Amino acid sequence: MGVSSGRLTALLTVAALAFASGCGTSSGAGPGDATPHGDENPAIPVVASTNVYGDIARQIGGDRVRVVSIISDPAQDPHSYEASTRNQLELSRAKVVVENGGGYDDFVGKMLRGARNSGAEVVNAVDVSGRSPDGGGEFNEHVWYDLPTMGKLADRIADALAATAPADADVFRKNAATFREKLTTLRDTERQIRADHGGTAVAVTEPVPLYLIRASGLRNLTPSDFSEAVEEGDDVSARTLRRTLDLFADDRVRALVYNEQTSGPQTEKVEQAARARGIPVVPVTETLPPGEDYISWMTTNLDALRRALDTRP
């Protein structure tokens, strides 16, 4: 789910107030987000906007990094996140910062400027993807569901870490290559779904998984008015909701891909309509579930999508 301009303004206002007042809510960073390293060779401090990017940075940096993910709670809606002074403190110390960009997590840049840390290496996933919200046409900021972009991101993180610790550059780049090899297996699964189910119609509650869906050769029939309203946090009109529900009543789609991390009465009606017709619901999230890394998470998502499509005639 993306961030509307109104929501983004509210987020940045909350962040500014938090910095000024010295109070805030959840930082999203916990002990499990840090990778310790011996004092004789201090670990590189890395801050990521979400644990998706924190995990990728950890896979590239290994025991040479100490990673803090600002948003790591799977129950936390990233779009209602409120910044804290602890986040700004971590960003003031960071040597490498990994953000999504594209309007999704602008609070990172705001806090980084507030922390007066102009020396950090900043890796922006949307920039790495080559896409731009100002490029015209449809823009989807959820680039962590785009496997080729994550391969490029791994290399860019390796470069950023190498700039901070040149002696370990070969280790970082080797780890990035290993990560890209793991992505190859996931892309093979996408190609297999395309081969078996190419052209099959599905529905989504939000644009979050659309890169994965399109790479798998599937067609998204969700009315754009529905997914855009949900993404912006707006109410869906009765007419648009009816058009969406009709997708299931008329058996026009084979699966519903549902963002279970953020939901409301209207998306719940859509889920209920799918289940009532025996149409499989494939849950997805915006941050890593407990116990998962990026590769296992995407493997789970793709396997669930494939099973859903296989169960419908």
- Given pLDDT bands bounded at 50, 70 and 90, which one contains residue 156? very high
The token duo for 47 is 């801050």
Residue 25 has pLDDT above 70, yes or no: no
Neighbours of 251 (CB within 10 A): 12
pLDDT of residue 133: 83
Task: Lowest mean pLDDT of 22-26, 84-88, 243-247, name the range.
Answer: 22-26
Task: Lowest mean pLDDT of 78-87, 199-208, 228-237, name the range.
Answer: 78-87
Give me the mean pLDDT over the 215-222 stretch.
98
Alpha-carbon distance of 66 to 132, in angstroms, equals 30
Average pLDDT of the chain to the nearest whole number: 86
Task: Name the percent of the chain lying above pLDDT 70.
Answer: 83
Alpha-carbon distance of 163 to 67, in angstroms, equals 17
Residue 300 has pLDDT above 70, yes or no: yes
pLDDT of residue 10: 40
Q: Which helix (H) or strand (E) holds 98?
A: strand 96-99
Query: Which residues is 69 bridged to in the sheet?
Result: 48
Instruction: Out of 3-17, 53-67, 108-122, 232-246, give the one with best mean pLDDT.
Output: 53-67
Query: Where along the chain do its domains lie?
Result: 5-185, 189-311
Alpha-carbon distance of 273 to 245, in angstroms, equals 6
* Angle made by CA atoms 158, 182, 159, in degrees to the nearest 5: 5
Give me the mean pLDDT over the 81-89 stretch.
82
Quick check: 206 and 262 in contact, CB under 8 A? yes
Of 113, 99, 91, nearest to 12 by C-alpha is 113
- At residue 229, what is the residue type? A
Alpha-carbon distance of 88 to 121, in angstroms, equals 16
Quick check: 201 and 279 in contact, CB under 8 A? no
**63-74 tens-digit pLDDT:** 999 999 999 876
pLDDT of residue 72: 85
Quick check: 223 and 240 in contact, CB under 8 A? yes
Q: How many CA atoms lie within 13 A of 219 on its CB side?
A: 10
At residue 109, what are phi and psi to the nearest 5 degrees? -65, -40
pLDDT of residue 313: 59
Q: Say which CATH class 189-311 falls into.
A: alpha beta
Alpha-carbon distance of 160 to 164, in angstroms, equals 7
Identical fold at 5-185 and 189-311?
Answer: yes
- Given pLDDT bands bounded at 50, 70 and 90, which one contains residue 229? confident
Q: Which helix (H) or strand (E) holds 296?
A: helix 294-311
Alpha-carbon distance of 164 to 92, in angstroms, equals 15
Quick check: 2 and 204 in contact, CB under 8 A? no
**89-145 tens-digit pLDDT:** 999 999 999 999 998 998 899 899 988 899 999 999 999 999 988 766 678 999 999
Of 195, 194, 150, 161, nearest to 297 by C-alpha is 150
Neighbours of 220 (CB within 10 A): 17
- Sign of the C-alpha dihedral computed for residues 61, 62, 65 and 66 taken in this order: positive
In three-state secondary structure terms, 278 is coil
Task: Name the percent of the chain lying above pLDDT 90.
Answer: 69
Q: Say which CATH class 5-185 falls into.
A: alpha beta
Question: Which strands sit side by side in the sheet containing 201-204, from one edge to the other?
Answer: 219-220, 201-204, 256-259, 281-284
Quick check: 225 and 236 in contact, CB under 8 A? yes
Task: Lowest mean pLDDT of 28-32, 86-90, 267-271, name the range.
Answer: 28-32
